[in-house]
Amino acid sequence: MFAKFGPSGNSQSFFDEGYTSTLDTFKWVSQRGLELFEYSLGRGITIGSAAAEVFGAEAAKYGIEISVHAPYFINFASDDPMKAEKSIGYIMSSFKILRAFGGKRCVFHVGTEGKRNRSEAFSDIKRMFDRLLEAKFEKGYDDLILCPETMGKLAQIGTVEEIAELCKMDSNLYPCVDFGHINARTGGSLKTEEDFQRIIDKFFDEIGEKKTKNMHVHFSKIEFGDKGEKRHLTFEDTIFGPEFEPFANVIVKNNLTPHILSESAGTQAEDALYMKTVYNEILKQK
C-alpha cells in the first residue's frame, strides 16, 4: 500500500490545453500519473446524480478515485440551530453525489465559532454530530468516510486536537489533515520532520493506527497573518510554506498511506505530481 496523490479541482493547465469539461478530467489526471481527484461542492451542489454517475464511470475507467468537498456554508458551530440542522442536509446531499461518483470520502469544514465561547460551541458540535451520524446511518451511507478538516483561520473550529476528538465519535470519521492550514493557524510552525512527526504521533495516540495511516491530507502552501490563513499559494512560494519534503520523510518512516490532494492556486496537478515524485524518490532510497 502506498500514498496516493491528486489535484483538488482542475489545474489552470487543463483549461490552457483547451479542455472545458470535467468529462475530460479523469483521463487528463491519469495521464499525469496521478490517482485521485477531489470534486468541489464548496459553492453549492449544482451537479446532479446522473451527471455524477457519468463522471464516476469515466473516473473508474482511468483508475481515478473521486472524493468530494462538501459546501463551505456548512456550519455545525452556528448559534442558529436551524443552520446547524441544515448542515446535516448538505452533508447528506454531498453523500448522494459521492455515491454516484463511486467515491468513498467526503471532506467538510466543521464550522466557525459564533459569539459563544469555544468549549460551548464544541459541545454543541458534538451534539449535532450525534444527529449527523444517525442520519448517515439511516440514509444508508454508513460505509462512506466523513473527513472533518483541520482549519487555517483561528475563529474556525478545526485544531488538530478538535479534529482528533471528533474523529473518535465513529469508526468512519477520518481526519482531513490540511498541513497548510495547521501551519497558517500556528504562525508557520511546520518546518522540520519532527514538527510533522509530532502531529502524526498525536493522531496515532488519539485515533489509532488505521485512521492515522489512511488519513485524508490537503497539502498546499498558504499565506497567513495574525488571524491565520489568508490565501492559497503554489509550490513556487518560498516564504510561507510548509515544504513537502519533511512530511514525505514522515510518510515513508511511518508507513503511512494517506490520500494527498493539492489545493494549490492553479497548479494543483503539477504540485500533486511534484509531491508524488518526492515521495517515490524517498521510497526508492529506503
Q: Which residues bind Zn ion (CB under 5 A)?
A: 149
**Torsion sign over Cα 67, 258, 172, 120:** negative
Of 243 and 263, the one with the shorter C-beta distance to Zn ion is 263
Residue 71 CB, shortest distance to Zn ion, in Å, is 11
- Residue keyed to cell 518546518: 191
Cα angle, residue 73 at apex, residues 69 and 76 outer, rounded to 5°? 95
Q: Which residue is nearest to Zn ion (CB)?
A: 149
Of 113 and 149, the one with the shorter C-beta distance to Zn ion is 149
Q: Is 149 exposed, middle or buried (CB count within 10 Å of its CB: 0-12, 13-18, 19+)? A: buried
Let me know: does 52 contact 59? Beta carbons within 8 Å: no
Of 11 and 150, the one with the shorter C-beta distance to Zn ion is 150
Residue 208 CB, shortest distance to Zn ion, in Å, is 23
Other CB atoms within a 10 A radius of the CB of residue 161 amount to 11
Residue 55 CB, shortest distance to Zn ion, in Å, is 20
Residue 178 CB, shortest distance to Zn ion, in Å, is 6
Q: Could you tell me how far CA 230 lies from the centroid of its own chain?
A: 18
Of 6 and 252, the one with the shorter C-beta distance to Zn ion is 6
Residue 152 CB, shortest distance to Zn ion, in Å, is 9
**Cell numbers representing residue 252 in the block:** 515513508
Q: Say whether 191 sits in a helix, a strand or coil.
A: coil
Of 242 and 252, the one with the shorter C-beta distance to Zn ion is 242
